[in-house]
């Protein structure tokens, strides 16, 4: 007999339906936005995201190439040689000159250099213990992809570190200012779970590194946090398996952040089309929905409903064609062919 209660154990629903760690983290804030951002991907280019991408590439480039001396000058040269040629069009769209972009990039280069010299093992650094007390012995992997039907999650870990105690821990890079973020901590927690699936099942801590100010934070797994995250994952897997207007995740009760959400129009149209009482909705959200869709006629709403139903049909057909859930039912050799 297996006992699952508030103190131990958790049931994973639809384990072969893998929810990405990014979608799962977004769902902790707003499940509806998480689904919309996954299904209605909108290309975005802004200076913060571009800086983040560049910093990730440079950090990982150091670990891959392992130069004899890591310095801001080496990182800047690497940026100009490898990354800048691919970035020109984005800078034009952003209306930012190369000089302006490099001026914003340089503080990050200093922090990357400091971290490398402090924590990497000799001869690259001083091998100072991380915030969780672990010393790095090697780089296990970079952009480590893990798919686990044990917990029904998939994720890509920025850097997997091998410690002196022969344990593997995740290092997650963030380019914003250091702050306590539930999203960031939840993401690292999921990575610790994924790594434990590959290792011996034991949960180790993970590390968050904020490159803007060089702050490093240890993320220690707790039963309560993990159960909450995995319960959210179960909900997302259920929505993913049977996605339609009636079963769409419920909106938030408060609307103070909805006005700035890039998916507010999608969300309110969906809400307007939802059958009465099929979703719990606050009076505040109902008013926000009415105001946001006031400009749409009944005919336009009817077309929107038809278009959404077609879109749901396309998603289901694509899902059936790919049959990614079935990959775990195949033998390892057959999975490789797939």
201-227 pLDDT tens trace: 888 999 999 999 999 999 999 888 888
Q: Is the pLDDT of residue 336 over 80?
A: no
Decide the pairing of beta strands 206-210 and 168-174.
parallel
The total number of structural domains that make up the chain: 3
Checking if the pLDDT of 153 tops 90, the result is yes
C-beta separation of 189 from 165 below 8 A: no
Q: Are residues 184 and 94 in the same domain?
A: no
Contact 271, 246 (CB under 8 A): no
- The verdict on 258 and 204 lying in the same domain is no
Alpha carbon distance 13, 268 (integer Å): 29
Rounded Cα gap, residues 104 and 55, in angstroms: 11
The answer to whether residues 57 and 33 belong to one domain is no
Residues 32 and 169 in one domain: yes
Residue 103 lies in a domain: yes
Strands (E), the chain: 19-20, 136-148, 153-163, 168-174, 206-210, 215-219
171 within 8 A of 158, measured Cβ to Cβ = yes
Phi, psi of 108 (to 5 degrees): -65, -40
pLDDT of 24: 92
Q: Are residues 23 and 62 in the same domain?
A: no
pLDDT at 78: 96
- End residue of a domain, out of 98, 119, 140: 119
What token pair was written down for 337?
A: 């062919």
Domain region containing 55: 47-119
Buried b vs exposed e over 32-44: b needs ≥16 C-beta within 10 Å?
Answer: bbbbbbbeeeeee
Contact 295, 269 (CB under 8 A): no
Residue 77 lies in a domain: yes
Structure confidence at residue 277 as a pLDDT band (50, 70, 90): low
Residues 239, 247: contact at Cβ < 8 Å?
Answer: yes
pLDDT tens for residues 35-61? 888 888 776 788 999 999 999 999 999
């Amino acid at each position: 007999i297996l006992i699952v209660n508030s103190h131990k154990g958790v049931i994973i629903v639809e384990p072969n339906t893998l929810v990405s760690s990014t979608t799962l983290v977004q769902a902790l804030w707003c499940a509806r936005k998480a689904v919309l951002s996954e299904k209605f991907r909108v290309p975005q280019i802004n200076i913060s995201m571009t800086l983040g991408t560049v910093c990730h590439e440079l950090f990982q480039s150091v670990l891959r190439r392992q130069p004899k001396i890591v310095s801001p000058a080496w990182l800047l040269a690497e940026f100009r040689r490898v990354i800048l040629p691919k970035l020109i069009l984005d800078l034009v769209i952003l209306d930012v000159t190369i000089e302006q972009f490099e001026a914003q990039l340089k503080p990050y280069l200093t922090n990357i250099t400091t971290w490398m010299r402090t924590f990497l093992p000799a001869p690259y650094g001083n091998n100072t213990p991380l915030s969780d007390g672990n010393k790095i012995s090697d780089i296990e992997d970079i952009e480590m992809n893990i798919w686990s039907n044990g917990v029904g999650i998939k994720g890509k870990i920025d850097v997997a570190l091998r410690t002196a105690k022969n344990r593997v821990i995740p290092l997650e890079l963030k380019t914003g200012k250091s702050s306590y973020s539930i999203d960031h901590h939840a993401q690292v927690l999921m990575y610790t779970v994924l790594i434990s699936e590959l290792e011996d099942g034991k949960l180790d801590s993970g590390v968050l590194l904020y490159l803007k100010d060089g702050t490093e934070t240890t993320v220690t797994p707790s039963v309560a946090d993990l159960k909450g995250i995995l319960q959210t994952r179960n909900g997302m897997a259920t929505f993913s398996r049977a996605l339609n207007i009636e079963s769409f995740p419920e909106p938030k009760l408060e609307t103070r952040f909805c006005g700035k959400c890039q998916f507010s129009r999608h969300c309110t149209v969906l809400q307007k089309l939802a059958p009465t009482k099929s979703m719990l909705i606050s009076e505040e959200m109902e008013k926000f929905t009415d105001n946001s869709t006031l400009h749409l006629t009944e005919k336009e709403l009817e077309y929107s409903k038809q278009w959404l139903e077609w879109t749901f049909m396309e998603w289901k057909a694509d899902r059936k064609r790919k049959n990614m859930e079935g990959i775990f039912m195949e033998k390892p050799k057959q999975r490789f062919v797939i």
